[in-house]
Structure 1
Amino acid sequence: MRKLALALSLLAAGPALATGIQIEVEGQANGVITIDLFEDIAPQHAERIATLAAEGAYDGVVFHRVIDGFMAQTGDVEFGLMGRDMRDAGKGGSKLPDLPAEFSDVPYDRGIVGMARSRDPDSANSQFFIMFAPVYQLNGDYTVVGKVTKGMDVVDAIKRGQGRNGEVMGKPDVMTHVTVTE
């Protein structure tokens, strides 16, 4: 009930209240990742992440795609819940509509959080990724939504996937609890 009340207050107040999220991670990596959401750069995307976090939608969602030297992807609230069949993890989103791109000049440096999407630039929904290293080929093509301010050691410890696509085999690391910070 408290999560629903917080989500409704966030929706009513707009994105200015949600300045970040804290992600508790368990698995090969254990600890807390703190992310500052960039409401001034990507207001719709920052609000979406904060809304889903406040609703508890990210709790129990796995890091399904992790590519060493590139990024760790999570946030599939539809198919990425721990304990479910992981074959479809990464193919879903939330029940909310996709978002229009909010591209910026912020470079994809280490610790930057970007919104995952399909080939359509206006298809970001709930999934996001955290950069292990700079990859400037993403600049201007994917919405930058935030930056890790604490816990890069936790990000660095996330279980890596296999192959070019980085699919995590076996038991993936999971976001056990995601909370909104102000």
Structure 2
Amino acid sequence: MRKLVALLFGFLFATAAAAQTPAAPAAPALDLANVLYLDLSTGGRVGILMRPDKAPTHVERIKTLARRGFYDGLIFHRVIDGFMAQGGDPKGEGSGGSDLPDLKAEFNDIPHMRGVASMARAAGNDSANSQFFIMLGPNFVLDNEYTAWGRVFEGMEYVDAIEKGEPPANPSKILKASIGSDNVAPPAKTPPTIAVAPVAPQTPAAPAPAAKN
């Protein structure tokens, strides 16, 4: 199954690992050609600055699938509070992927700190395909085990609001994934439906009796 191998083990040791926080490499200037926007059902847009300088084939895969509309409507099927939110599986349960070949690992020096986006994989290092996860908290046990390819620079509150669970009872979903330079507008927000009680037909009032002299 395409789930994060040994993630639970890593989660248990996250506190100890966080005590030795590595320095994050300097991020490049914001380039909309390398920005992934995720419009989430949690209420807003998440911006992720992708790093083709660190993981070029993984970034290209994300761009390709986003432009195909592959991620639109997919759920976050595995979300562990304080750890990570995983999605990108068309089956919605952790074993699926795209029709494209699996990717060769591109481990790099981006530490798995809060907000980092990284690729999920099966047991083999070179088994990532479409599934990814966003870190809800730091866990450096994952460094050099999973390919990090970007980091959230805006809208992290919408990531934090993703429904928790393995699987969640009411999973949050990606409404739309797009690339910044493509200028795709966020989906229109549907106004809440307000139930209005039916109005009973009114019977005209009887005329008042004429006054008697």
How does the TM-score come out when normalised to structure 1?
0.80
| Cα distance in 1 between the residues matched to 2:109 and 2:150 | 13
Distance 2:116 2:63 in 1: 17
Would you say 1:172 and 2:185 are equivalent positions?
no
Q: Which 5+ residue runs of structure 2 have no aligned equivalent?
A: 1-30, 182-213
**Number of residue pairs aligned between Structure 1 and Structure 2:** 151
For residues 142-179 of structure 1, give each alpha carbon's deviation from its aligned partner in whole angstroms, at most 9, with x where no partner exists.
00011001011001111000xxxx3222x210101111
Larger Rg: 2
Q: Is the 8 A contact 2:104 2:127 kept in 1?
A: yes
Q: How does 1:152-171 map to 2 (within 5 A)?
A: 152-161=156-165, 166-169=166-169, 171=170
Contiguous gaps of at least 5 residues in structure 1: 1-15, 81-88
Contact conserved, 1:114 with 1:143, CA < 8 A, in 2? Answer: yes
2:32–2:179 CA contact under 8 A, matched in 1: no
- Please provide the CA RMSD for this pair: 1.3
Aligned match of 2:74 = 61
For 1:45 and 1:67, locate their aligned partners in 2 and report how far apart those are by CA, in whole Å. Answer: 24
Instruction: Give the share of equivalent positions with the same residue, in percent.
Output: 49
Distance 1:120 1:158, change over 3 A: same
1:168 maps to amino acid:
P
Equivalent residues in 2 for 1:79-94, closer than 5 Å: 79-80=91-92, 89-94=93-98
2:45 is the counterpart of 1:32: yes
- TM-score between the two structures when normalised by the length of structure 2: 0.69
Q: Which residue of 1 aligns with 2:101?
A: 97
Specify which structure has the higher proportion of strand: 1
Q: CA deviation at 1:17?
A: 8.1
| Counterparts in 2 of 1:150 and 1:141: CA distance versus 1, 3 Å | same
Among 62, 65, 74, the residue aligned to 1:49: 62
Q: Which is helix-richer, 1 or 2?
A: 1
